[in-house]
A = this chain, B = another copy of it.
Amino acid sequence: MKKEIVIGIDIGGTNTDFAFVDKKGTCYLKNNIRTDKYPDIDTFLDELCLELKKGITALKKEFSTVSIGIGAPNGNFYTGNIQFAPNLKWKGCIPLVKMVEERMSLPVVLTNDANAAAYGEMIYGAAKGMKDFIVITLGTGLGSGIVINGEMVYGHDGFAGELGHTTVIPNGRACGCGKKGCLETYASASGIVRTMHEILNMRKEDSLLRKKDLNKLTSQEIYIAAKKGDMLALEAFEITGEYIGMKLADAVAFSSPEAIILFGGLAKAGNYILNPVKKYMEQNLLSIYKNKVKLVLSDINNENAAVLGAAALGWEYLNKK
């Protein structure tokens, strides 16, 4: 009998990655197309689905493709639409699930990228077997996927889990969402760069980063400087960890999760980010929660993580039907 396989698709602003993924998390025929080359969603999906059909044919001796899971910015699980995603060229409300189902004649399920990451951790990663956990994605922004009682939290409208837009500093930094002081303006790859700028302006101490073009400074460069013992870079991680830790303590008071998993670009800084987050989270926890919440880095192979998450959604969807 042929083995079942699902397609995982991760739609990002620049690239769309996809792969065929089996139940163990092995990826086959991983590939990508440029998202930003297609201002028209129909042309994009025609091209993408052509590639997927080629893959189904190539694998059909061994595998039967059973569903498609998609992670995309502002992807709504309930409606199957991508709604007003600021980083995508397709404007307005895109009925993505319907459009892909029409082309592929397979069940299709959609969620946002942070929820897809949480499905990935639940099926393939650090949250295997857990019923209550939170995944925090630390990329250009800060996303979150929340699982409670073994179910993804979507809320009554499909939009739950926007911890990046909770307030950490009232009337603080301007956020892309139009609000001020949102967590993601402090705690993300771009947030730590803003913090580093502030530190370099405020302080007189020398730093490896003073030689850099500050307009092009990246979180990766701050990490490299921290690894070399640069005190101001280390301070940027400390401050970033303080903001994240404070808000994770709030999240624990909400849902008392077994674990919180840090995922994405900034999480690659390992203990440089994990240790301050842990310190300030514990400091801000009510005593009943102290030293109980596992705070860990995602251990999913980073290159495949987003596609694995989308595929995990595909599997989860079949299980629930």
Q: A166 interface residue, CB < 8 Å from B? A: yes
Q: Are A167 and B257 in contact (CB under 8 A)?
A: no
Q: Which of A132, A148, A289 has most chain B Cβ within 10 Å?
A: A148
B251 near A157 (CB under 8 angstroms)?
no
Residues of B contacting A257 with CB < 8 Å? 155-156
Given A149-B149, A179-B284, CB of A159 within 8 Å of CB of B250 = no
Docked-complex contact A254 and B286, CB < 8 angstroms: no
Copies in the complex: 2
Q: Does A72 contact B (CB under 8 A)?
A: no
- Let me know if B255 and A160 touch, CB within 8 A: yes
Q: Does A34 belong to the interface (CB within 8 Å)?
A: no
Q: Is A151 positioned at the interface, with any CB of B under 8 Å from its CB?
A: yes
CB neighbors of B among A173-190 (8 A): 177-179
Binary interface encoding of chain A residues 239-274 relative to chain B, with 1 for a CB under 8 A from any of its CBs, else 0: 000000010011101111110000000000000000
Please state if A249 and B167 are interface contacts (CB–CB under 8 Å). Answer: yes
Given A149-B151, A156-B131, verify A167-B284 contact (CB < 8 Å): yes
Asked if A120 CB lies within 8 Å of chain B CBs, one says no
Expressed in whole angstroms, the Cα–Cα distance for A64 and B178 within the complex equals 58
- Residue of B156, B253, B284 near A256 (CB, 8 A) is B156
CA distance A3 to B155 in the complex (A): 36
Q: Give the B-binding residues of A (Cβ under 8 A).
A: 83, 130-132, 146, 148-149, 151, 153-163, 165-167, 170, 177-179, 246, 249-251, 253-258, 284, 286-289, 292
**27 residue pairs bridging A and B, Cβ less than 8 Å apart:** A83-B288, A132-B155, A132-B156, A146-B255, A148-B149, A149-B149, A149-B151, A149-B153, A155-B256, A155-B257, A156-B256, A156-B258, A157-B292, A159-B289, A160-B253, A161-B253, A161-B254, A162-B253, A162-B254, A162-B288, A163-B254, A165-B253, A165-B286, A167-B250, A177-B287, A179-B286, A254-B254
Question: Which 10 pairs of residues, A with B, have the shortest CB-CB distance?
Answer: A155-B256, A160-B256, A156-B258, A166-B250, A132-B156, A162-B253, A165-B286, A159-B256, A166-B253, A160-B255
